[in-house]
Structure 1
C-alpha cells in the first residue's frame, strides 16, 4: 500500500516519521512487526497513503472537483484536500484518533447483506439486542453493525434465520459505536488545541450526509467517532446534485462498487436549494425531494472519494440504534435538508453533557422519573434526571448504583436535588451522597434561595485550565420560573455561605477563592406551564426575559463561560419545541409526557388515564408541600375529584382556625369520602412521621389547632399521590397526578400512530420523534417565510 508514493513525496514521508516516531513506508510495505492491522497504526497509514494519492492526482489534473467525500477515516483526507487543515495537522489528528480508539472497550462488528434497515431494526427490537448499534450505511443492501462481542455473536443466527448474509469482521473493538463515547470525549479535548479553516470545496459529512458548514470541522470530527457513516445518503445527496461521475482515490475499489449499488438500488435525494459555502454562512438550504426515475442535471466534475479501511467502521448515533425509531408520527426524517435535530439548540451544551441532541427528560417526584427511565435515556445518547423527591436516601443510593452499573461506558445521567428549607440536614445528606458517588450532574429544583448544601456541591473540585479560567467539574442545572430566582443562580455563591462552609471544613481554601469567578449554575431551565409546581409562566415572556438577564449578568461578572438557558413546561409537540428554540432556548426538557411511558415509575392505571387526556383536562390545585403558602400545582382533572377536594381543604383551612369550627356534616364528608379514615387516625400517622423527622412540627401542632389542621389536611396530598403511584383502584377518584396540558397536546399529535397506546411509548423514542419533528416544522415554516 503506497508503493512509490513514499519516495515521490519524501519530505512528507520524513515529516510523518517525525510525527509518528516510526517509518510509515516500512509499516505499509513490509510490516515487520505485524502492526498494520492494529487501528492505532492502520489509521495513520491510511491517512498518509490517501493524502499522497490525492497530491499525486493534483499534479495530473489541476481542475478541482465539485465535491469531496470520504468514508469514515477517509473524511480526514477529504478535509485535507479541501484545505481545512494541512498534512501535518491531519496526521496528528489521525494519530490521536487511532490511539484513543485502540483503548476502547472490547467489542466487534459484523456486516449484514441482503437485509433492509427496517428488518434489521425489527430483529434488534424483537430480540432485545439493545447494545448493538448500526455502524455503517454502506449501501441499501450492505449495513454494518457494532456492539459487544457476545451480543454480536447472539445476533448472527437471528439474521441467518432471516435469510440475510451475516459476516463477522476481524476488528479489535466496536468502532464508532456507543463503545467509543470515552475516546470521543478525549478526542474533543484534543481538538481544542487546533484551529480549522472552512473547507474551500464542499466536503460531505459522514454525520449529516450534507456538506460541512463553516466552523463545523471540530464538531463533526468529534461526533464522527460515534455517529453513523451515512454513506448511502451521502451518495444519494450527490446524485441529487446532478453528480453521475465518481472517482475513487487510494488503494482498492471498495467505494466504487458501493456507489454503483447505491446508484442502481435507490433514487437521488434532490435538495432544491443546495448548500453554498461562503464566509461564515450557509445559504439557500431547502427541502429534499425524493426523485424516482428523474433525469439528473448535466453532470458536474467528479467528486473525489477517499476510502477507509474495511477493518474500521462507524456507528449510528443512538437515534439509529436498535431500540429507537427515528420517524416522527407524521413525517419522515429525510424530508429535511437544512435544520436537523443535531443542530437545534446549543452545540456547547451537547458537548458538555455528551448528548447527541439538546434534549433532556426532567425529574419527577417519587422516582416517577425512574432509574429505568434514566438508563434508557442515557443509552440513547440523551440525559435524564432521576426523581429523588420523597424517596428514602437508601433507595436513592441503590438507584445510583444501578444507573452506574447500567451506564458504565460514560453515558450521562443526572440526579434531582430538591431545596429543603425545613430539613436542611436532609438536603446536605443528599449532596454528600452525590459527591461520594461522583455524581457530575444535578437538576436543582424548588429553590427560592441558594442553600449551603447546593453551594458545597457546586464548589467541589473547582480547578483552573491552562488559561487560568475556573473550570467546574460538578454541573448544576437550575429550574427557574422567575427572574429573581434566576438571578440568584447567575450570581457567584454567597460569601457568607462560602465562609461558613470553609470554617466547617466542607470546602478547601482554593475552592472558596475560585467560587467568586463562577455562577451558581451552568444552565438555567426556564419552567413555564408545567405539571406539578408552577408559577403559571408563559414561555414567550419569561424565556426571553431570563436570556437577557443571563447576558447582563455575564457582562457584569465577566464570566469566562456562558450560562445556557433552556426551556421546559408545555413541551409535548414539535410545534411547542420549535417555538422554544426560536425564542432562544439552548435546550429543551420534557416532563409530563414522560410519565406516560413504559419506563416511568407510575402505575399502569394512571398511564391509561393519562393517554386519554386532551389539552383542557388539567387544572390547578393547592400544593401539599407548601399548603399554608397557597402554592399551586397543575394536576390531571379528568376522571378524578382531587383538584376540587384539594381546593376545598385549602379553603376550609383558610376560613377556620381548627377542625372543631368546621360544621359536622363537612367534617364527616372529609373523613368518609376524602380520607376514608378518621381525623384521629390521620393525625396519629402524621404524628409518628414527624416525631422521627421534624419533632418541632408536632410541638407546634399541639399548641396551635390551625397548624394541626394543616398537618392533617397535608396528609391527604401525600396519600393521594402515593395511591396514584401504586395504582390503588379503590382510590382512583382521589389520584393526584402532576401533569400539564403538554400530555394532552402530545396525545393529539400521536393520535392514529403506534404511540397512541402508552405500552408503545419509550422515553428515548419520544425524544427522537419530538426533535426530528421539530426540525421538520422549522424547515417548513422557514421555507414559507422565504416564499418557497
Structure 2
C-alpha cells in the first residue's frame, strides 16, 4: 500500500455550513466541544453564519481548527492504517499537531483564537494585505519584491505551488505591485480578501506575544511526524515545536517544499482533512504524479478511502 499523508487547510477555506454534508455525529460533537471550550457558539456560527462574522480572523481560526479535527476524527473511524505524516498550511499546522497528539484540542483552540486576535491587532485594518502572484517562479517573485522602490514591507509569504506565490505587506507596496504587475512579467496579481498580512515581518510583534502563551502550553512529542511550515522539517521536542509555531507567524509557508519533501519520502497520496479542496489542488500542481482527495464531502471521503487503502489506481485521472 502506498504511504499517504494528511494535510490540513488554513484560513480562507472556511465557509458557512462546512462539513455539513457528512451525517456522522462526530462533526456536530466536535463543534459542540469547541463551543464549550471557547465560551461562544462556534457550532451555530459554522452552521448559520453570518459569513462576515465567520471570516473574522479570531473566529475563522478556531472554526477551521474545529473543522479540521472533526474531519480527522471522521477519518479515524474509517479503520485504515494511520498516515505516514501530517502537515498543515499556516493555521492548519495546529490541526496537524492536535491530530498527532502533540497539542490538546482545547489548548489549540485557545491558542489559535489568541493567534487571530494578535494578528489582527498587529497591523491596523486597511493598512496591510496579501496578493497572489501567478505565472512567476519563486525566485522571480522574490526579485520583484526586492525591486520595490519604497520602504514599506513587501515579502513572499506563501510558496503554494509552482507559479503561485502569495506576497504580503503594507498597502503602498501592494498598490505598487498591482500597478506594475505587467511590467514585472506577472501573469495575474490577485488581491486576497484578507486584512491581515500573514507570515511577513509585520507579524514579529504578534509572534513574540504568542510565544508567551506557547511557553505555558503543554506540548508533547507527536505520535505521527508533523512537518512544519517554515522549513518543511519535523520535530520531536516541545521547545523546538513551540519555536516553530512562533516563527511560522512571520516566516513564509513553504508548501511546495513540504509536499516535495514528503513525496521524496515515498508518500504519493495526500488527503485534505477539513473544508474545501485548496490543498488537494495544490498537491496536484506540485506533482502531477501525486494523488489527492478532500474529505470535505462524503464522495471525497470515499475517494480518500480508496486511495489510502490502495483500492484506487493512483496514476489514473480519476485519482487526480
- Structure-2 residue corresponding to 1:217: 241
- Structure-1 residue corresponding to 2:146: 125
How far does the alpha carbon of each residue in 1:336-377 deviate from its partner, in whole angstroms, 9 at most, with x for none? Answer: xxxxxxxxxxxxxxxxxxxxxxxxxxxxxxxxxxxxxxxxxx
Pairwise CA RMSD: 2.2
Residues 1:38 and 2:61 aligned together: no
Higher relative contact order (CA 8 A, sep 6+): 2
Q: CA deviation at 1:136?
A: 0.1
The alignment partner of 2:77 has SS state of helix
> In structure 1, how many angstroms separate the alpha carbons of the residues matched to 2:19 and 2:257?
30
- Structure-1 residue corresponding to 2:40: 22
Query: 1:218-257 residue pairs with structure 2 within 5 A?
Result: 218-257=242-281
Residues 1:114 and 2:132 aligned together: no
Select 1:58's aligned residue among 72, 76, 79.
Answer: 76
Select 2:212's aligned residue among 176, 180, 189.
Answer: 189
The alignment's TM-score, normalised by the length of structure 1, stands at 0.33
Q: CA deviation at 1:235?
A: 0.7
> In structure 2, how many angstroms separate the alpha carbons of the residues matched to 1:140 and 1:37?
27
The alignment's TM-score, normalised by the length of structure 2, stands at 0.78
How far does the alpha carbon of each residue in 1:677-730 deviate from its partner, in whole angstroms, 9 at most, with x for none? Answer: xxxxxxxxxxxxxxxxxxxxxxxxxxxxxxxxxxxxxxxxxxxxxxxxxxxxxx
Residues 1:49 and 2:72 aligned together: no
- Structure-1 residue corresponding to 2:174: 152
How far does the alpha carbon of each residue in 1:460-507 deviate from its partner, in whole angstroms, 9 at most, with x for none? Answer: xxxxxxxxxxxxxxxxxxxxxxxxxxxxxxxxxxxxxxxxxxxxxxxx
How far does the alpha carbon of each residue in 1:297-321 deviate from its partner, in whole angstroms, 9 at most, with x for none? Answer: xxx969xxxxxxxxxxxxxxxxxxx
Is this contact kept in 2: 1:5–1:53, CA < 8 A?
Answer: no
- Structure-2 residue corresponding to 1:263: 287
How far does the alpha carbon of each residue in 1:507-544 deviate from its partner, in whole angstroms, 9 at most, with x for none? Answer: xxxxxxxxxxxxxxxxxxxxxxxxxxxxxxxxxxxxxx
The alignment partner of 1:65 has SS state of coil
Equivalent residue pairs, number: 269
Query: 1:159-198 residue pairs with structure 2 within 5 A?
Result: 159-161=181-183, 162-198=185-221
Give structure 1 stretches of 5+ with no counterpart.
267-299, 303-788
> In structure 2, how many angstroms separate the alpha carbons of the residues matched to 1:213 and 1:129?
41
Distance 1:129 1:204, change over 3 A: farther
Distance 1:24 1:91, change over 3 A: same
The alignment partner of 2:287 has SS state of helix
Is this contact kept in 1: 2:28–2:43, CA < 8 A?
Answer: no
- Structure-1 residue corresponding to 2:101: 83
Q: CA deviation at 1:152?
A: 0.5
Query: 1:212-611 residue pairs with structure 2 within 5 A?
Result: 212-215=235-238, 216-264=240-288
Give structure 2 stretches of 5+ with no counterpart.
1-17, 291-306, 310-320
Residues 1:2 and 2:19 aligned together: yes
- Structure-2 residue corresponding to 1:747: none
Distance 1:33 1:55, change over 3 A: closer
> In structure 2, how many angstroms separate the alpha carbons of the residues matched to 1:94 and 1:151?
28
How far does the alpha carbon of each residue in 1:8-57 deviate from its partner, in whole angstroms, 9 at most, with x for none? Answer: 35554333222222211211121148301110111011000110110011
> In structure 2, how many angstroms separate the alpha carbons of the residues matched to 1:206 and 1:74?
10
Is this contact kept in 2: 1:6–1:25, CA < 8 A?
Answer: no
